[in-house]
Amino acid sequence: MLLGPALAVSAILFSLGVAGVLLRRNAIIIFMCVELMLNAANLAFVALAQQLGPDGQVIVFFVMAVAAAEAAVGLAIVLAIYRHKQTLDIKDINLLRG
Amino acid sequence: MTQVAFWLFAVLAVLGGLMCITRRSPVASALWLVETLFSLAAIFVLLDAQFIAALQVMVYAGAIMVLFLFVIMLLNLGRERATDMRGWAGRLVALALGLLLVVELWVLVGSPLAGQIQLPAGSMSRASQEQGVVGVISDSLFRTYLVPFEVTSMLLVAAIVGAVVLAKRRL
């Protein structure tokens, strides 16, 4: 029975993703930490799907599709920001700060 | 045997995540994240999700991470430079909030709710033996979730158009 350990690993990976978002200032690395969080959620879905039927795996399929769309749009935004500011450090990207 | 393999890949996944958020170079971070994604694919196989594991390797470790590496190298960020970690206050906040989240999720995992879900053991492996690994998912995907599946295709088209518009220098 791997449900409990899998959920525990999922919790640790999700927290690592959150800590990474808080720790880093490089926009691309923050994106990668978001991907890490999405993968932790996927692990929880798959672990529960093992016993609750295939619906959880279908949700993982959708999460992957949304993650792909998010990565494409997000990296395009990163490219546009870099072209505009010549940096990806989010402390220098404060155009919307009042 | 399954337990040993699971814990091996779990340790590898957590190690990869830890290295991903602490390496200075974005390329090293991305490669450690790829290692985490591969370990998760192995864990998916152990959890009777072979099709999802294949998707994980192809879509995540293949397509998405190549996109990340491509952008990193396009922007020439691979060189060693000053660290982008936050200062001491930021590190402490990140560590404290991360640990708090681990504790919260741990309590949630150990709560009676998780124990109360009385699950039929091995139903997934039985179903995949009867219908095939892909058949189990596709049956649900193309019957119950047909409309969300079609909406996903629209989402992907919108993402493609959005990415082109955002990344183009001049429209």
Output the DSSP codes for B131-146.
H-HHHHHHHHHHHTTH
Please state, in angstroms and rounded to a whole number, the distance separating the CA atoms of residues B61 and B109: 28
Give the pLDDT confidence score for residue A48 in this predicted structure: 86
| Interface residue A37 vs chain B (CB under 8 A) | no
Q: Which residue has the higher pLDDT, B17 or A92?
A: B17
- At A89 the three-state DSSP class reads strand
- Residue whose structure tokens are 């800590």: A19
Nearest to A19 among B33, B36, B98 (CB): B98
Please state, in angstroms and rounded to a whole number, the distance separating the CA atoms of residues B8 and B11: 5
* Helical ranges in chain B per DSSP H: 2-22, 26-46, 50-55, 65-74, 88-110, 112-116, 123-131, 133-143, 146-167
Please state, in angstroms and rounded to a whole number, the distance separating the CA atoms of residues B21 and B47: 26
Q: Which residue has the higher pLDDT, B22 or A98?
A: B22
Residues of A in contact with B108 (CB under 8 A): 11
Instruction: Tell me the longest C-alpha to C-alpha distance in chain A.
Output: 52
**Which residue of B22, B31, B32, B44 is the best one to mutate when testing the A interface, meaning the one whose CB has the most A CBs within 10 A?**
B44
Record: contact A28-B101, CB cut-off 8 A: no
Nearest to A19 among B95, B162, B163 (CB): B95
Give the pLDDT confidence score for residue B86 in this predicted structure: 78
Q: Which residue has the higher pLDDT, B116 or A14?
A: A14
Is B68 within 8 Å of B29 (Cβ atoms)? no
Q: What is the pLDDT of residues A51-90, one digit of tens each?
A: 777 888 899 999 999 999 999 999 999 998 888 888 888 8
- What ranges do the domains of chain A cover? 3-85
Is A29 within 8 Å of B34 (Cβ atoms)? no
Interior angle at CA B153, CA A29 and CA A66, nearest 5: 25
User: Phi first, then psi: what are they for A25, rounded to 5°?
Assistant: -115, -5
Q: What is the pLDDT of residues A16-63, one digit of tens each?
A: 999 999 988 889 999 999 999 999 999 999 988 887 778 888 999 999
What class has domain A3-85?
mainly alpha
Nearest CA in chain A to B111: A4
Please state, in angstroms and rounded to a whole number, the distance separating the CA atoms of residues A24 and A32: 11
* Helical ranges in A53-98 per DSSP H: 55-85
Q: How far apart are the first and last CA of chain B?
A: 57
Mean pLDDT in each 10-residue stretch from start to end of chain B (171 residues)? Answer: 91 94 90 95 91 92 91 79 76 87 80 61 72 84 91 94 87 68
User: Phi first, then psi: what are they for A76, rounded to 5°?
Assistant: -65, -40
Give the pLDDT confidence score for residue B135 in this predicted structure: 85
Exposure class string for B28-63: b at 16+ Cβ within 10 A, else e: ebbbbbbbbbbbbbbbbbbbbbbbbbebbbebbbee
